[in-house]
Amino acid sequence: MIRLVLAAVFALFGAAAFADSAPKIAPQSPAQVRLSFAPVVRKAAPAVVNVYVSHVERAPRNPLFDDPIFQRFFGGGGEEEERVQKALGSGVLVDRSGLVVTNYHVVENATAVKVALADRREFEAKIVLRDPRTDLAVLRLQGGDAFPTLELGDSDALEVGDFVIAIGDPFGVGQTVTQGIVSALARTQIGANDYGFFIQTDAAINPGNSGGALVDLDGRLVGINSMIFSRSGGSMGLGFAIPVNMVKSVVSAALHGGKSVKRPWLGATLQNVSKDIADNLGLDRPTGALVVEVAERGPAADAGLRRGDVIAAIDGQVVDDAESVGFRLGVKPLGGTARIAALRDGKTFDLPLRLASAPEIPARDALTIHGRSPFDGALVMNLSPAVSEELSLGGAGQGVVVAAVGENSTAAQVGVQKGDIVAAVNGTAIATTRDLERACAERSRWWDLIIRRGGETIRTRLGG
């Protein structure tokens, strides 16, 4: 245990400073400032790994290759050429069987993944779970056993000013350790994932640190380093980590064989409380999450939430904005209930919220459109609360949504985007994926499209 290793630290700080129930204190003398973090690093570093990613891209071949003179001297080629893109990130071993947590953006387009441990052993890795909503992914090492792991801590126990240590592989120079403090908690509106609720630290984080560990002074994982704010491309003292309490739900799903993570669904659309809204509602300050819309059938409606209510806390934990509500619900397991404290007409009341996942009604009936149409190469699905949650569409309603667009496809070339909701094709309303498939199967010289994107309706005409 780290407390035994740090016997000398106890002598300088006093055992009470390290007791779980004792107040935290600042260093009291120069000798205390000169203390080393080496024992913490020795405990944590073996479980932090380097993640090497390869991605094969197929691109149209340069027309120069078709020149007879070029082919005579250099040989011909196929219609496409392959380019291998390589990227580097970090990861954390969280289970002795070889489970590694990293950022989703590190392995997003990977065709091959290799992991190198601190002791220089290397393993091929398989991506077993992707969770783009949290920017997390889980890998499983192929071969080996009894791997070193990091104990998962409690990010809710962190306080601004706590010492933390970041471990990763910045710029590919090798495993690197940096130290700083927790600069802020519950940072939202960062835009990196749907559960924007980050730990901010001034511990130096640079490209390549993504997916690495943020640990406390007990050597426990408290966050996964995810992104930085920088004008130079390097560390400027503004690093952000995904709280470990969110990581736990992803790890749990992977350990139980899941390929995705199901989380509780609120069944309501929220927005942040501005100063004007707070003044109109008679609130002392602009805090909490305003209920804008409540789904007819869902946990929020069952709990009795109404439009205009302000969610102030969940299970006793204060929420400052809409992102905080998403995080507080997102870290909870399905089943059971959570207690919501809400404000209505100047009064505070308590509601039981059922912790259930979003339903997939209607069935998604996913299919890829083929043929001569603007949607050739697009993967489309029927909208449901579950699909809307997966694609971060909010209260998108019903219809057909574009879930993915193939590289170099016709859909990509004409500007079709993931998240587009197809409302009509050539005057025909589109309600299901089969409607869209039939509409695209018809030959047409012109394609008149109505698409909803980001709350706006786009009408366009394309040549056939």
d(CA 271, CA 82) in angstroms, rounded, equals 45
For residue 152, the 8-state DSSP code is: B
Known catalytic residue at 392: no
Known catalytic residue at 135: yes
The pair of three-digit structure tokens given for residue 119, joined into one six-digit string: 């002791």
Question: For the CA atoms of 450, 452, 453, 458, what is the dihedral angle to 10 degrees?
Answer: 40
Residue (of 325, 332, 322) closest to 261 by Cα position: 332
Residues 6+ apart with CB under 8 A from 49: 90, 91, 92, 93, 100, 115, 116, 117, 118
Could you say which of 90, 105, 226, 384 is catalytic?
105
The pair of three-digit structure tokens given for residue 63, joined into one six-digit string: 């027309």
**DSSP characters over 347-375:** EEEEEEEE--PPP--S----EE--SSSTT
Q: Is the peptide bond before 60 cis (omega within 30 degrees of 0)?
A: no
Question: If you search the block for the tokens 């969280």, which residue do you land on?
Answer: 94
Taking residue 105's Cβ as centre, other Cβ atoms within 10 Å add up to 19
Sequence letter at residue 115: V
CA distances (Å), origin 22, targets 2, 16, 73, 445, 464? 17, 6, 78, 76, 72
Could you say which of 90, 131, 135, 194 is catalytic?
135
d(CA 146, CA 93) in angstroms, rounded, equals 11
Residue (of 310, 329, 330) closest to 320 by Cα position: 310
CA distances (Å), origin 225, targets 89, 195, 210, 238, 324? 10, 15, 5, 11, 19
Could you say which of 90, 155, 183, 210 is catalytic?
210
- Say if CB 168 and CB 225 are below 8 A apart: yes
Report the first-to-last Cα separation within the chain, whole angstroms: 69
Sign of the dihedral defined by the CA atoms of residues 404, 405, 411, 412, in that order? positive
The pair of three-digit structure tokens given for residue 288, joined into one six-digit string: 């909490």
d(CA 177, CA 205) in angstroms, rounded, equals 10
Question: For the CA atoms of 279, 190, 259, 397, what is the dihedral angle to 10 degrees?
Answer: 40
Report phi then psi at 164, rounded to 5: -140, 160
Active site residues: 105, 135, 210
